[in-house]
Amino acid sequence: MSHNSFGQLFRFTTWGESHGSAIGCVVDGTPPGLALAEPDIQQWLDKRKPGQSRFTTQRKEPDQVKILSGVFDGLTTGTPISMVIENMDQRSRDYGDIKDKFRPAHADYTYFKKYGIRDYRGGGRASARETALRVAAGGVARKVLGDAIRIRGALIQVGAHHVERERWNWEEVDNNPFFCPDPVMAGLWADYLDGVRKEGSSVGAIIEVVASGVPTGWGAPVYGKLDAELATAMMSINAVKGVEIGAGMGVAALRGEENSDEMAMNNDGTVRFLSNHAGGILGGISSGQDVIVRFAVKPTSSILQARRTVTVDGKDTEIVTKGRHDPCVGIRAVPVGEAMMACVLADHMLRHRAQCG
C-alpha cells in the first residue's frame, strides 16, 4: 500500500513538494523494448505548463523533464523509469500572511490536523504541481498503449457556459487556450474569464476525456471495474468534486429503454452499438466503444476576495490570497485528465494480458 502510488501493474509513485528543489516520479511495470525519450514526455508537459495564456497562472515553470533510469539505447528496459522536474520558481516569497492562516477550500487545515505539521510553502503535497508528474507518467502510458489507442481531452464547461455538441470539433482544441472543441464557446469563455479575473474571483469547469480504440475486454466485473478505477483516477486530481462515465449523473432521469445501448451486427462480423450511454464500459469491462469520462473541477480556491478563516493559533481572521493564480484551474486539468486515462488504460491492458493472455 502506498498513498503516493497509482496503478497496479503499470504503477507510478510521485514525490516532491512545489517548493522543494525538485519533484519526480518513478514509473514501474513498463514493458521492455518501447521507444522512449524525453521529448515523448515533454510534449505533454508543455500542454499543462503554466503561463501559456493570460487565463492561467503566470508562474514561470518550464517543467523540463529528465529521465534518469529505465531507458537504454532509446528503448525501455522494463525497469523503473525515474523522471525528475526541477522546481525553478521557488522564489523566496513572503509567506507572512499565509503562514499562520488556513486558506479556506485548500488542504491547509486538514493537512495540519493530519500530520501535525504546518508546511505553509504552497500546500506541500496538496499542491497541484504534483499533477505534472501524472502527465509525465501518462506520457509513458501512451507508449505502452501504442498508437491504436487515442486519448483526447477537452474543456466542455466553464462556469455555467457549456459547449454545444453539434459544434464539437476535436481540431479546434489546439486553436484556443482552453482546449475547447467549440470555437464559438471558446470566444465567449475568453471574455467571461477576463471578467472573472478582474473581479479577483475564479470559476469551476468540466472536462471530458475520450479514449478511442480501446479493445473489448479490459477491466473486471467487481472491484477492478474500469469505470471504478477511472473514477478514483479523476477524483484524485486536485479540486475535482465529481466524476461521470457516459451518461453520468444524468442516468437518474433516463428510462431503461432510453439508457440501454442497442447492439447490431456489422457486415464484417463485428458488433456495433447504436448509442453510447454506457461510456464504453459495461459491467466494468470495456465494450470497444469510446471510453468517455467527465469530471468537474471546483473554482480556484485562491482568490482576491476576502474570506473568513482562522489562524493556526485558533483566532478568527480574514484572508486574501494574493499571488499568481489560475482563474480557472480546470483549463490545465485537461492534460492531467488525459494522462490519468492513459495510466488507467495501460494498467488494465497489462492486467488483462496477465489473466487472459
323 binds a copy of itself per the rule CB under 8 A:
no
Q: Cα–Cα distance between 80 and 100 in angstroms, integer?
A: 40
Part of the chain binding a copy of itself (CB under 8 A), chosen from 40-48, 164-172, 180-188, 257-265: 257-265
57 binds a copy of itself per the rule CB under 8 A:
no
Q: Cα–Cα distance between 10 and 12 in angstroms, integer?
A: 7
336 binds a copy of itself per the rule CB under 8 A:
no
Please list every residue from 147 through 186 that binds a copy of itself, using CB under 8 A.
157-160
Give the 3-state secondary structure of residue 198.
helix
Part of the chain binding a copy of itself (CB under 8 A), chosen from 40-48, 55-63, 65-73, 165-173: 65-73
Grid cell in block for residue 57: 497562472
Neighbouring CB atoms inside 10 A of 23's CB total 23
Phi, psi of 265, deg, nearest 5? -85, 140
- Beta-sheet pairing, 271-273 with 285-286: unpaired
5 binds a copy of itself per the rule CB under 8 A:
yes
CB 164, min distance to a copy of itself, A: 16
228 binds a copy of itself per the rule CB under 8 A:
yes
223 binds a copy of itself per the rule CB under 8 A:
yes
Q: Specify whether the CB–CB gap between 43 and 139 falls below 8 A.
A: yes
If the CB atoms of residues 91 and 171 are measured against a copy of itself, the closer one turns out to be 91
- Which of 8, 52, 90, 276 binds a copy of itself (CB under 8 A)? It is 8
- Which of 122, 138, 139, 246 binds a copy of itself (CB under 8 A)? It is 246
Q: Cα–Cα distance between 345 and 329 in angstroms, integer?
A: 25
CB half-sphere exposure, 351, CA atoms < 13 A: 20
Please list every residue from 105 through 134 that binds a copy of itself, using CB under 8 A.
105-107, 109-111, 113-117, 119, 121, 123-126, 130
Part of the chain binding a copy of itself (CB under 8 A), chosen from 37-45, 163-171, 181-189, 212-220: 212-220
Grid cell in block for residue 127: 499542491
